[in-house]
Amino acid sequence: MGIISETYNDSGIVILTIERPKALNAINREVMQGFNHFFFEGYKKYEKLTGVIITGSGRKAFVAGADIKEFSNHNREEATKLSTYGHNTYFLIERFHVPVIAAVNGFALGGGCELAMACHMRIAGEHARFGQPEVNLGVIPGYGGTQRLVQLIGKGKAIELLLTADMIDAKEAHRLGLANHVVPSGMEVQMAESILKKIGTKGPIAVAKVIETVNAHFDSQIHAFEKEQVEFGKSIDSEDGREGAAAFIEKRRPVFKGK
């Protein structure tokens, strides 16, 4: 078992578990490299992949932040490179072609909250806590926190949480739109699996293109409405698109092939 364990089931779902319970699953260099490798190329070993779940080991934390000891003595250039690597890794997650769900089983703070926000959805256990406490250390979030928190909950509340370093509980996270669902503690992965199994019955091409076009909304270099038009045309002209239409007309379940 490595610093990130992988579990694959017959539904095509991979569960990635951060295995640093004594450190409350804090993100260190090895954890970040593990995520970078998996979402860049490691996933290719799974022929049928319908979804990914990220969670933390133990019962206290999803990820309680970044490992401060690793960057406390960084100079400006080193810190910028660290941030850039984190951004690039989290972009791999955000832009992944199948849905990625964070099963938040405890503290999701700092880099952990940023990791959860890079996922497409977040399932929070009832004892989960979210926050960006970086200003307590005299620094700002470095893995996309100032951007994704605004995207998910709006500028006013986001800047309040970023400036006060206040933690919010699962119910408040759900009310604000940071968490998709709140479930009893210990049921986070099960809920995530049920969502991914439902998505797994849909057209793989359509699923990938939904993720791609939604992400385009937040990319200033892309005209997102035009992007949707182009990708809609591609999906209609795919084998899956034609199969879906035929199945609807023939009143049967479609058989998608991801082509």
Active-site amino acid positions: 114, 134
The answer for 169, left when phi > 0, alpha when psi is -120 to 50, beta otherwise, is: beta
How far apart, in whole angstroms, are the C-alpha atoms of residue 109 and residue 94? 18
**In sequence order, what are the residues at sequence separation of 6 or more whose Cβ sits closer than 8 angstroms to the Cβ of residue 61?**
21, 24, 25, 105, 106, 107, 108, 112
Contact between 95 and 75 (Cβ < 8 Å): no
Strand order in the sheet with 168-169: 61-63, 107-109, 129-131, 168-169
